[in-house]
Amino acid sequence: MNLILGLDQIGDDDAPQVGGKAVALASLHRAGLSVPSTLCLTTEAYELFVQRASLRAVIHQELGRKRFHDLRWEELWDVALRISNRFLRAPVPEEVVLAIEPYLAAAGPERALAVRSSAPGEDSSTTSFAGLHDSFVGVRGKESTLEAIQQVWASLWTDRALLYRRELGIEVDSSAMAVVIQELVEGEVSGVVFGVHPNDPGLMAVEAVYGLNQGLVDGTIEP
């Protein structure tokens, strides 16, 4: 069972296990670009968590109350809230804790981390999930990191994520979540690079903001 993988261990075919975000970071790393120290919690870690906490039965029960496509928004909101709350109350398996402890020890308790979602299907040619799953920056220490991991796992089951899957006809029952943990680079500016400009395929585009780019990603700050 591969609960964790480093960027050196991730190839282009590993998206089902680590998600599109981790595959992209590994590709940048192989190309020689500077990528912050990174650890990926695989979907196997997520599945172990779900199994140990009997969360699959909770998901089936909540989503089985009515045909998924017939759920009204307020019903979907209630279902998502109940599932997410169960995710946040369940303990992280000891195997997962032990697997990430060496990375956290090397980073040190005062080192700021980014804990990021990396679900299979994110950042693909047909689906983006941009801003739908949660990521956290400025996370410090073991306990805060474990809480952030749980919140990322739980964000797979928010109402907005479920609505997006329903709109695209994606099978909800097979959903899984990997988590990328990185040392945070606290620069004066940050941004997003688009390999293809949306208005001109011959160009790339860079959008940037002052400080961390959380506001850019969630749309609250004009780049």
pLDDT tens for the chain, 223 residues long, are: 899 999 999 999 999 999 999 999 999 999 999 999 999 999 999 999 999 999 999 998 888 877 777 778 788 889 899 999 999 999 999 999 999 999 999 988 889 999 999 988 655 555 555 567 888 989 999 999 999 999 999 999 998 888 887 777 677 777 899 999 999 988 899 888 888 998 999 999 999 999 888 778 777 889 9
- Displacement of CA 11 from its chain's centroid (Å): 18
Q: Cα(first)–Cα(last) distance of the chain, in Å?
A: 42
Place of tokens 């019903």: 75
Claim: this prediction has a pTM higher than 0.85: yes
| Strands 205-210 and 189-194, bridge-based pairing | antiparallel
Which strand (E) or helix (H) includes residue 192?
Answer: strand 189-194
Q: How far, in Å, CA of 186 to CA of 137, rounded?
A: 10
Q: Token match 């620069």: residue?
A: 187
Q: What's the chain's Rg over C-alpha atoms?
A: 18
